[in-house]
Amino acid sequence: MNAIRKHLIQPIVDLWSLIVGLKVTGKFFCDKQVTVHYPRKVVRNEDLLAYRGHVELTPNPKDPVKPKCIACGMCAMYCPSNCLTVVKPKPPKPTPEEQKAIEEAKARGEKPKEPKAPREPVSFTYDYTLCSLCATCVENCPAGALRFSNDIYLAGSSRKDFFYDLLARLKGQAEKATKAGGAAKPAAEPAAAKPAS
């Protein structure tokens, strides 16, 4: 029985496996080509929407220079790679008049209203060399202040080139968008790159 299985049944099973593999290969062989032969061709901007590059801040709709970020630190807390650093601003020191009013309210037994820190980050840095692009920070941001960049033209000569100050990057994107006359968009469009004809 082993001889029959070894010499008759096993070759039929192996042949069937080969036919199934060739069917899959043949199906994709006849499909439209997906690979872009850069630099002869350039990826179209419509195709960049699905690309998940490094993390960047989402601009505030009212003021594109400022982020939607409320400096809660949830992104940095949930990041398994520890690649995000959010620095919250300190509350402003009360003026002498405000300090006197706070002390009087405390003396009366009331709970004084002390000045609160602004709800925007002082510093927001990102180390792309550590990021695993897991999207935990994007998913856990309560303000929706993080998104993935569509920047596919990313290159550097050292690791330092991949440490980003996301606030400065957002400001640069807003300035670039105002010069172009549109709303702030992710920096992904290569302006000079055109498909070769």
Structure tokens at 105: 């309210």
CA-to-CA distance for 150 and 55, rounded, in angstroms? 9
At 95-117, the pLDDT tens digits run 888 888 888 888 888 887 777 88
CA-to-CA distance for 169 and 186, rounded, in angstroms? 10
- The mean pLDDT value for 4-27 works out to 85
At 117-169, the pLDDT tens digits run 888 899 999 999 999 999 999 999 999 999 999 888 888 999 999 999 999 99
Instruction: Identify which of 70, 61, 66, 89 has the alpha carbon closest to the alpha carbon of residue 171.
Output: 66
Whether the CB-CB separation of 195 and 41 falls below 8 Å is answered with yes
Domains of the chain: 33-88+120-180 (3.30.70.3270)
Structure tokens at 38: 């850069």
Residue 146 exposed, middle or buried by CB count within 10 Å (0-12, 13-18, 19+): buried
Evaluate if residue 6 carries a pLDDT over 50.
Answer: yes
At 37-90, the pLDDT tens digits run 877 888 777 777 778 889 999 999 999 999 999 999 999 999 999 999 999 998
pLDDT confidence bin for 182, thresholds 50/70/90: low
Evaluate if residue 187 carries a pLDDT over 70.
Answer: no
